[in-house]
Copies of this chain bind each other. A is one copy, B any other.
Amino acid sequence: MTAPGLAIGLADIEAAAARLAGHAVRTPLLTSAVLDEAVGARVFIKPECLQRTGSFKFRGAYNRLAAMSDGERARGVVAASSGNHAQGVAEAARLFGVPATIVMPQDAPATKRLRTERSGARIVAYDREREDRVAICEAIAAETGAIFVPPYDDPFVMAGQGTAGLEMAQDLTALGLRADAVLVPVSGGGLLSGVATAFAALAPAACHPVEPEGFDDTTRSITSGRHEANAKLAGSLADALLARTPGQLTLPILKAHARPGFTAGDADMKAAVAFAARELKLICEPGGAIALAALLSGAARFSGGTVAIVLSGGNIDDAMLADCLAA
């Protein structure tokens, strides 16, 4: 049942889970004694870095393509992304055997570009400062007939990302536990809108966005109730978390099911990437580790509670990993 005015409900996420079964990884819910002691809380980790293509983005992209008719899919898809959505769309298109064109900023991390190409997608590079990626996508769609796959503001994309939250809620419930807080990296709000919808329906918990310092449009929008925007579009290590403002479809859900959240800066993210590698034995990218960064840097806030965090992606260049380990 979808609440009036909201783009998705639990049934959409359950339908997405059925489409994703056997194609996406049902990532585990991990625990770490070292992390529990560091935070003074019981922490559960959803490692979406272990997901196909190295981030949760495959879930939404695959669900979007799976929901198309054969005729629609055959036209191919086009998407704009700094990297993780690009890989998700490219890999979903490869699995369905349809062409994908990805509009990607020139300064995207090399590893994300290479991995997108590896899935067989055509890359169109653009200048983040001077060109409009949406206009480029529209031109490609008009020219080739390809269908645009939005990074977050789409019910199928949101429901696909929500399957991560569905699994978390199911696994916590199976353990007989309720989370006091759920921390989710946020850019446009696709992942958090899906996760918060699943938790609201199955395992009520306070779901919070975690955003880069200076890019807290989501927390400000949840607080004010309307679309607030970031002043900048660049200037954070979390290259995947720099949307200007929440989506038209995601914000109403965030207002209904999520709470104001937290921020973490570059140094906190680097420390979290290093902690994840050394202690959790997981590779995260800076933005993918931002919920862990908020947890470690604000541990007192969560003391004594049960906290679930999403590690949303692990597509980090070797040089950036080395930089985080050296910090």
Contacts and interface: CB of A to CB of B under 8 A. Distances in A.
Interface of A: 25, 28, 30-31, 33, 47, 49-50, 52, 54, 91, 111, 277-278, 280-284, 314, 318, 321-322, 325-326
For the complex of A and B, the 7 pairs showing the least CB-CB separation, nearest first, are: A28-B28, A281-B314, A281-B283, A49-B281, A318-B325, A277-B283, A33-B52
Nearest to A319: B325
Main secondary structure of the interface of A (DSSP, over half): helix
Specify how many copies of this chain sit in the oligomer: 2
Nearest to A28: B28
Nearest to A25: B31
A50 B281 contact: yes
Nearest to A279: B54
Most buried by B among A284, A322, A326: A322
A33 B111 CA distance: 17
Contact of A282 (B283, B318, B321, B322): B283
B31 A280 contact: no
A320 B71 CA distance: 51
Nearest to A326: B318
A31 B283 CA distance: 16
A277 B284 CA distance: 10
Contacts of A277: 283, 321
Nearest to A48: B281
Given A28-B30, A281-B282, 18 more contacts: A25-B30, A25-B31, A33-B52, A33-B91, A47-B281, A49-B281, A50-B280, A50-B281, A50-B282, A54-B281, A277-B321, A278-B283, A281-B284, A283-B283, A318-B326, A321-B325, A322-B322, A322-B325
A165 B187 CA distance: 41
A322 B324 CA distance: 12
A282 B284 CA distance: 9
A281 B111 CA distance: 13
Nearest to A314: B281
A91 B282 CA distance: 21
A326 B319 CA distance: 10
